[in-house]
Amino acid sequence: MFAWTERELNEEQGAAVVQPGSVFLVACPGSGKTRTLTYKIARELSLLTSSRQYVVAITYTNRAADEIVARIEALGVDTRQLWIGTIHAFCLEWVLKPYSIYLPRLARGFTVIDPYDRQQLLERLCAAHERPRITHYDCDYFVTSTGTELCCRENAKRVAIRAVLRQYFQALRDSQQIDFEMILGFADRLLRAHPAISRTLSHVFSMILVDEYQDTKQVQYEIIGSILRAGSGRCRLFMVGDPNQAIYGSLGGYAIAIEDLRALTGIPIAQSALSRNYRSSRRIIEYFEHFNLHSTQIEAFGRDREFESRITYNAEVTRADLVVEIGRLVRHAVHDLAVPQREVCVLAPQWVHLAALTRRLVTEVPEIEFDGPGMAPFSRNIENFWYTVACLALTEPSPSMYLRRVRWATKFLSALNDAGVALNHVDQKAVLKHCNSIRLLQRDGLDYLRAFFDSLFERMGVDFHVYLQLLSDHDAFFSSSHAQVERLEGEGVRDSRDLTFFKRVFAPRSGITVSTIHGVKGGEFDVVIACGLLEGMVPHFSDPEGESAGRKLLYVTASRARKHLHLISEKGRRRGNFGDYSATEVLERYRFNYNN
């Protein structure tokens, strides 16, 4: 049985890990949630009694899945009976691929549309609607067990959006494609129509673990609940998250109440909590506790808990001077306080503001390196086969990368098998050996990847052009990647075509992180600088939760900081015909003893 010492887990963490039944774990920021989840998975793997059983872990991002697997393997635990990934990947792997024959819409086969191709299709359909003008951003939607819900809350646009989506769904039907939201909808439909699928899966899974439960959608709860109900307690649940960080409400995510979860799953579930914050100083915790909506208990427990943190709020700087002010704060952190660049984070509410902000910061503080938004110069669609090959192509063999590259090679072989490519006697080590032996002279990143793909398949004696799915993915990968490179060049990002720039995607992060508030969840930094804290952005003007959504966004923002926190509500940012944005009201009302 997997075991640990008292120094590795505290009493709260250890109690959650050894709990034999199902657990609903509310974890405050910095409480070691990922560590607890990692040890729980490791222990459950060690308790498996059959080679036919699996432990399943559902994470919000693929990056989180990679991090957890790496931690488990570092503990010396065999992960061959662990399945970990996003809910979309789970539904594809365990529900749609094996059982799609039972749905007429999918019975003749299907592919998942590439996000770039989806955007292009929606843009073409939106172009036909001049009034009201709509874009592909307006056409985001999410599925529920009863249909679809639009993410756009502007009533004047909703009729046009519905019309575009009807055309969009028909186009996907005609091309035998589905998008990511349809993955969830069809999985839910299959489980409802064929209860035997849930019963089968409940025998295969000993436990389902769900990370960041507060970002889970109704249909996702239903999918997981269906399997747990069918198991009648045979398959257990370990669900962890923080309801105060439920900031994806506009996309359908919400933090389920324990009573509703018990009713949905039909199984007994114990509730527990992680209340010790090991990340932030007591002053930082005091600050973000003000935005606590769910009375979560938080206790300062880290080595820096008595650190004299500086917390500032600037509502006087103008938009014209914003970059200069952020540059001043960055220089102060890096040069005066000797904070490593990778321990500084600059946040804003929306991606649209960050690309220009990153470019201007590079000019304002040229001696500092910035890891800005959307800086990958190639398609990062995790479901595209060639993205996995690109991961192998752009990383070098090294001890630190070995386990990750083995996982990529495993996924590579599995995807080839799904596409109908028979590779007898080829294992992960053989794939890595082929990859490691390829030597190319191309310096253009996309030229290099194209040549690498051709060389790898030539070495394996496979012509991928004769396999429709591989060829379709190949076209989608390079179309999307070309568009990404052109976008970066248009935004003034230098050397975005260079192979070195491509390889930076997998290099350890070294510069200052520039991110949205949503994108930084799970991160932690010595210094956090947040701008754009304006009513209509924080919270977004269309968010139905209003002030509650704003409090959650501020809670997430402030709780990323270990030592210092700088908040900015800049003046002079125009809101179309509605004048200038004003400062976020809930922030303006907070009478805190800020530093100068």
> Interhelix angle for 402-418 vs 62-74, to 10°?
120
More confident residue, 360 or 198: 198
Over residues 64-71, the mean pLDDT reads 89
What pLDDT score was predicted for residue 47?
95
What pLDDT score was predicted for residue 425?
82
Asked whether residue 30 is marked as a ligand-binding residue, the answer is yes
What pLDDT score was predicted for residue 373?
58
∠ Cα 405 410 416 (to 5°) = 125
- Cβ pair 9, 17 in contact under 8 A: yes
Over residues 388-415, the mean pLDDT reads 91
SS (H, E, C) 135-185: CHHHHCEEEECCEEEECCCCHHHHHHHHHHHHHHHHHHHHCCEECHHHHHH
Q: Residue 112 is encoded by which pair of tokens?
A: 């998942």
Asked whether residue 34 is marked as a ligand-binding residue, the answer is yes
What pLDDT score was predicted for residue 505?
84
Q: Residue 59 is encoded by which pair of tokens?
A: 């994470």
Per-residue pLDDT at 493 exceeds 80 = no
Over residues 46-53, the mean pLDDT reads 94
Closest of 6, 73, 41, 11 to residue 240, by C-alpha: 41
Per-residue pLDDT of 221-237, as tens digits, reads 999 999 999 999 999 99
Per-residue pLDDT of 308-348, as tens digits, reads 999 999 999 999 999 999 999 999 999 999 999 999 999 99
Q: What gap in Å lies between CA 496 and CA 484, rounded to an integer?
A: 9
- Cβ pair 453, 393 in contact under 8 A: yes
What pLDDT score was predicted for residue 374?
64
Asked whether residue 27 is marked as a ligand-binding residue, the answer is yes
Q: What gap in Å lies between CA 383 and CA 97, rounded to an integer?
A: 13
Over residues 137-164, the mean pLDDT reads 93
Per-residue pLDDT of 446-484, as tens digits, reads 999 999 999 999 999 999 999 988 999 999 999 999 998
Per-residue pLDDT at 122 exceeds 80 = yes
Tokens 């989180």, located at residue: 64
Tokens 């060389």, located at residue: 455
Cis peptide before 397 (omega within 30 of 0): no
Task: Strand 236-241: give its sheet, edge to edge.
Answer: 82-85, 54-58, 205-210, 236-241, 22-27, 269-274
DSSP reduced 3-state for 22: strand
Strand pairing class (141-144; 147-150) = antiparallel
What pLDDT score was predicted for residue 168?
97
DSSP code string of 317-373 = -BGGGHHHHHHHHHHIIIIIS---GGGEEEEES-HHHHHHHHHHHHHHSTTS-EE-T
Core vs surface per residue 550-561: b (16+ CB within 10 A) or e = bbbbbbbbbbbb
What pLDDT score was predicted for residue 507?
80
DSSP 126: H
Over residues 538-547, the mean pLDDT reads 88
Q: What gap in Å lies between CA 245 and CA 216, rounded to an integer?
A: 12
Per-residue pLDDT at 296 exceeds 80 = yes
Asked whether residue 374 is marked as a ligand-binding residue, the answer is no
What pLDDT score was predicted for residue 381?
84
Over residues 389-401, the mean pLDDT reads 92
Dihedral (CA of 294, 299, 304, 306) sign: positive
Q: Tally DSSP H helices, then E strands, for the chain.
A: 22, 18
Per-residue pLDDT of 24-44, as tens digits, reads 999 999 999 999 999 999 999
Per-residue pLDDT of 411-453, as tens digits, reads 999 999 988 998 888 899 999 999 999 999 999 999 999 999 9
Asked whether residue 28 is marked as a ligand-binding residue, the answer is yes
Per-residue pLDDT at 68 exceeds 70 = yes
Mean pLDDT of the chain: 93
The upper half-sphere exposure of residue 446, i.e. CA atoms within 13 Å in the direction of its Cβ, equals 19
- Cβ pair 562, 280 in contact under 8 A: yes
DSSP reduced 3-state for 295: coil
Tokens 């923002």, located at residue: 557
Q: Residue 122 is encoded by which pair of tokens?
A: 């929606």
Over residues 294-320, the mean pLDDT reads 96
Q: What percent of the chain has pLDDT over 90?
A: 79
> Does residue 256 come out as left (phi exceeding 0), alpha (psi in the -120 to 50 range) or beta?
beta
Per-residue pLDDT of 152-176, as tens digits, reads 888 899 999 999 999 999 999 999 9
What pLDDT score was predicted for residue 491?
67
Delineate the domains of the chain, giving CATH numbers in brackets. Answer: 11-95+195-273 (3.40.50.300), 114-174 (no CATH), 309-369+510-588 (3.40.50.300), 385-504 (no CATH)
Range name among 305-319, 506-520, 526-540, 547-561 with the lowest pLDDT average: 506-520
Q: Residue 411 is encoded by which pair of tokens?
A: 């996924």
Q: What gap in Å lies between CA 17 and CA 38, rounded to an integer?
A: 9
